[in-house]
Amino acid sequence: MNIIIVDDDKIVESSLKTILEASGEVKVMATGSNGQEAVELYKTHRPDIALMDIRMPIMTGLEAAEEILAHDANAKVLFLTTFADDEYIVKALNMGAKGYILKQDFESIAPALKAVLAGQSVFGRDIVSKLTSKAKSAREDYRTMGITEKEEEVIELVAKGLNNKEIGGSLFLSEGTVRNYISTILEKLDLRDRTQLAIFHLAN
């Protein structure tokens, strides 16, 4: 797969390039150090995935992703950051980013790229932990909205980025049943799609 890496920490940028290319499965087409360069590099190279930091000078990663996605709605942006900040996570998901993983979760970066390339959304371990923690605090609210315990389990797995087949495997349900669950959940919560569902779950 072809990617670009944008990070204002040159050591991180260089290390990522070396490690990812050593796998033989990733080609780093270009690197940059701020959000403005990210936008320019994306338009020039059209990578499969843009791997970028969030806090950067001139233009943040979030601002850059917003511009990239406005230019190409099918762009795949994976955020790599040191900040597991709820506000950042919600903004990243809301704008259509494909994932949010922490630099500390280094061994998960290559698998995350593969998952994003395959069309999945991904979250690092610490992010999943935050999602799970928020889910626990939201249980009482879900009950008042008519969400059953099984539907809540489906919501948690959607928010973790699992697809219908993976959710079905985890909960011993068919893909068709999972689809039906998600349709029912979206109707109950008055949401449009699974991305909005993940954002709703995280924000509550």
Q: Can you tell me the distance from the alpha carbon of 149 to that of 85, in angstroms, rounded to the nearest whole number?
A: 27
Residue 90 has pLDDT above 60, yes or no: yes
What residue ranges do the domains of the chain occupy? 2-123, 128-203
64 token code pair? 């850059």
The CATH number of domain 128-203, selected from 2.30.42.10, 1.25.40.340, 1.20.1250.20, 1.10.10.10: 1.10.10.10
pLDDT number for residue 85: 61
pLDDT number for residue 107: 77
Range of lowest pLDDT (42-51, 54-63, 79-88, 92-101): 79-88
Beta strands 49-52 and 27-32 are unpaired
Residue 105 has pLDDT above 80, yes or no: no
Range of lowest pLDDT (70-74, 93-97, 158-162, 168-172): 93-97
Q: How confident is the model over 162-179, as pLDDT tens digits?
A: 889 999 998 999 999 999
Residue type, 35: G
pLDDT number for residue 12: 86
2-123 CATH fold: Rossmann fold (3.40.50)
pTM of this structure: 0.63
